[in-house]
């Protein structure tokens, strides 16, 4: 058994810890624009920070066109043992998905990929308390040691949003919206609902070009 997803990310984070602070601040501003603003002290801060760190290291491309994970791999390719090399290669091709929970067996979840199609049987690395079949959530999927696993943050959408979510997802697929753009928008709507608890769900969960909030 090799390193966990978290351990691999921590290695990349240590390697990038010397990055210019202005780059990290610019990245956080970009992430806020994509998925909604969050600040220290808010109930969802730790979750959103974990999501930002995964996005920063795995998705965000710098001026050279590479993500930090890809730069780490290029720098260490000659020194990593073959098994570790494969793990870090797989870490450069993770996916953020909108998923419907079909079944739970211990820490294994069967998930329907609503945005990209197909199904995942994943090792769930986050608390499963409160999850029930039928739930719709956004999560990152990575492959570690041949098994799909979840990333360090997941966004659970309330049941009352499901009808609107299904309409948004169907329209996004018809219009060929990139899955990452769809997930960004869904994450942003969920944060708006958390922040504006007095606003009705149907006014928050809208297609990007229809959204008023």
Domain presence at residue 35: yes
Residue 72 lies in a domain: yes
Total domain count for the chain? Answer: 1
| Full residue range of the structural domain in which residue 57 is found | 5-92
Is residue 85 included in any domain, yes or no? yes
User: Contact at 8 Å (CB) between 122 and 149?
Assistant: yes
In a domain, 206, yes or no: no
Q: What gap in Å lies between CA 124 and CA 51, rounded to an integer?
A: 16
Q: pTM to 2 decimals?
A: 0.92
Q: Give dist(CA 137, CA 130) in Å, integer.
A: 12
Burial (CB < 10 A; 0-12, 13-18, 19+), residue 136, is buried
Q: Is residue 153 assigned to a domain?
A: no
Per-residue model confidence as pLDDT tens digits over 54-97: 999 999 999 999 999 999 999 999 999 999 999 999 999 999 99
- Assess if residue 22 is contained within a domain: yes
Task: Decide if 44 is inside a domain.
Answer: yes
12-56 pLDDT, tens digit per residue, is 999 988 777 888 899 999 999 999 999 999 999 999 999 999 999
Domain membership flag for residue 45: yes
């Amino acid at each position: 058994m090799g390193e966990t997803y978290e351990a691999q990310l921590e290695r990349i984070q240590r390697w990038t810890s010397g990055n210019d602070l202005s780059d990290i601040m610019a990245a956080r501003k970009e992430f806020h624009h994509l998925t909604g603003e969050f600040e220290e002290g808010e109930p969802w801060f730790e979750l959103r920070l974990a999501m930002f760190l995964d996005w920063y290291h795995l998705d965000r491309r710098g001026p050279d066109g590479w993500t930090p994970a890809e730069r780490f791999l290029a720098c260490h390719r000659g020194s990593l043992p073959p098994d570790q090399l494969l793990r870090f290669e797989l870490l450069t091709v993770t996916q953020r998905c909108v998923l419907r929970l079909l079944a739970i067996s211990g820490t294994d979840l069967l998930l329907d990929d609503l945005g990209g199609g197909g199904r995942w049987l994943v090792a769930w690395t986050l608390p499963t308390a409160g999850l029930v079949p039928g739930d719709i959530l956004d999560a990152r999927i990575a492959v570690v040691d041949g098994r799909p696993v979840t990333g360090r943050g997941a966004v659970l959408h309330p049941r009352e949003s499901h009808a609107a979510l299904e309409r948004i997802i169907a329209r996004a697929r018809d219009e060929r919206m990139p899955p990452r753009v769809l997930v960004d928008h869904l994450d942003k709507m969920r944060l708006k609902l958390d922040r504006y608890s007095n606003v009705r769900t149907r006014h928050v969960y809208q297609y990007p070009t229809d959204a008023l909030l």
